[in-house]
Amino acid sequence: MLVQASHLISGYVRFRLTGNSSRFMTLAARSGIVLWGFQKKESTFYACIKAREYRKLRSLNRRCQTKMRCVGKYGFPFYVQKALKRKGMLLGAALFVFLFAFLSSFVWDVQVSGIDAITEAEVLNAARACGVYEGGSKNGFTPRGAAQSIMRQVEGISWISVNTDHCMVTIEIKEAEEKPEIANEENPSNIVAKRTGMILSIEAQSGMVKVKPGDIVMQGDLLVTGIYTDQVDEYTTRKAPLQTTMVPSRASVIAETAREFQVEVSTKKRVTTDTGEQENRYLLFFGLKIPLGLNTAATGEYRTYVSREMLTLLERELPVGIVTEKYVYTAEQSVTLSKTQLQQEALFALRQQQEKLLPEDSKIISEELEYSYTDTGCTLTARCVCEEEIGEIQEILVESSTDE
């Protein structure tokens, strides 16, 4: 096997011989010429010899008065010689090597993994700022430098790694876990009412409850106390002094409350209308945008919509395709709202105010809406019955004394 490989690398010639072949072979052996692949067909003799030693057989051919003719040339040197004669094949091979080296120097795909709260767009925008994007040069960034840059730009990352696999880039992220707010469990505190209402339910984790469902409480009333003494009934004889307990109160107090919200909206409103549009098309080739046609830059106020039609290979998007940028021009103008539109605007503003002022998980049980109109606008007043959390922690200040 190794001998055959050696012959293919160095190249060999197969020839045929007619005449006194026995004397020819004897003289060749005495001259140290190595022949192989012997074959005889009737009066014709075939053999193989290394290409660089073929000329040595000419003198033996004349001495033995035989007829020798080359019937085949084999091996790497002859393959190269044939390829050099085919300029198209040589040019194609050179073009293939050039394109392979050129295309391998770009990033073809960027994948992001391990994100939940952080959006992929945030990570990709940060990666683009440091040179990591589809169609970007692989020499335009270092994995460690790109990872550090992305971590500085995007909040909420505790660990990040940028890995390259040929033309693919993978950004692996581990999000930081938010530290829970730890209440101060050392200082004693009370739970007081931050609004007037009727108690619907109360669930205390610590502290002594001072109210019950159905009670009416005013703003500032004590709901749960963090300082209390042991309760002793009249039939118990107790010589030791009563023990005072001081704890931080923790409780959920749901009450029915009455609230009033008021919003005002103007009859005049500034609205944005579309006045026209413009479209620019580009050929995107590995990050290079080539205009398709006479594209003009957008001016003034406008909205932008971008669509991409990219080539795909093996279900992967390639950084080659058509990008369409659509610009919709806008202008502001003042309009006068009708009565129905005024009511809709006022109701929308009311819902925003309620969402902002009411505690989380609160409910509006009922509401009464009252509209009043003037020449300049509309005022909406809402009287609501709500179900909400009214408990508020109030720390107890305890004076400490030192015996001298």
Q: Convert the pLDDT of each residue in 26-77 to its tens digit.
A: 888 888 888 888 888 888 888 999 888 888 888 888 888 888 888 888 888 8
Contact between 198 and 256 (Cβ < 8 Å): yes
Q: Convert the pLDDT of each residue in 273-298 to its tens digit.
A: 888 999 999 998 877 788 988 888 88
Task: For tokens 């409350």, name the residue.
Answer: 257
pLDDT attached to residue 259: 94
Q: Which H helix or E strand runs over 404?
A: none
pLDDT attached to residue 404: 38
Cα distances (Å, whole numbers) of residue 66 to 13, 25, 36? 18, 11, 19
pLDDT, mean of residues 109-137:
87
Candidate ranges 103-117, 309-323, 324-338; pick with highest mean pLDDT: 324-338
Contact between 76 and 84 (Cβ < 8 Å): no
pLDDT attached to residue 327: 93
Q: Convert the pLDDT of each residue in 263-275 to its tens digit.
A: 999 999 888 888 8
- Cβ neighbors of 290 (< 8 A, separation 6 or more) are 282, 283, 284
Nearest to residue 215, comparing CAs of 203, 226, 202? 202
pLDDT attached to residue 185: 57
Nearest to residue 15, comparing CAs of 52, 70, 58, 61? 70
- Tokens of residue 280, six digits: 């620019």
Q: What is the DSSP string of 252-309?
A: EEEEEEEEEEEEEEESEEEEEEEEEEEEEEEEEETTEEEE-S------SSEEEEEEEE
Q: Convert the pLDDT of each residue in 73-121 to its tens digit.
A: 888 888 887 777 777 777 888 888 888 888 788 888 888 998 888 888 8
pLDDT attached to residue 304: 92
SS3 350: helix
Q: Convert the pLDDT of each residue in 182-222 to its tens digit.
A: 555 568 889 999 999 999 999 988 888 999 999 999 999 99
Contact between 362 and 387 (Cβ < 8 Å): yes
Q: Which H helix or E strand runs over 400?
A: none
Number of neighbours of residue 125 by Cβ within 10 angstroms: 14
pLDDT, mean of residues 377-397:
92
pLDDT attached to residue 200: 94
* Of 396 and 389, the one with more pLDDT: 389
Calpha distance 197→216 (Å, rounded)? 6
Contact between 350 and 340 (Cβ < 8 Å): no
Q: What b-and-e string marks burial along 79-107, b requiring 16 or more CB atoms within 10 Å of the CB?
A: eeeeeeeeeeeeeeeeeeeeeeeeeeebb
Contact between 172 and 193 (Cβ < 8 Å): no
pLDDT, mean of residues 120-130:
89
Q: Is 352 left (phi over 0), alpha (psi -120 to 50) or beta?
A: alpha
- Tokens of residue 301, six digits: 């106020």
Contact between 88 and 32 (Cβ < 8 Å): no
- Tokens of residue 401, six digits: 């004394």
Per-residue pLDDT at 329 exceeds 70: yes
Identify the burial level of 136 via C-beta atoms within 10 angstroms of its C-beta, where 0-12 means exposed, 13-18 middle and 19 or more buried: buried
pLDDT attached to residue 109: 83
Beta strands in 60-156 (DSSP E): 67-74, 109-113
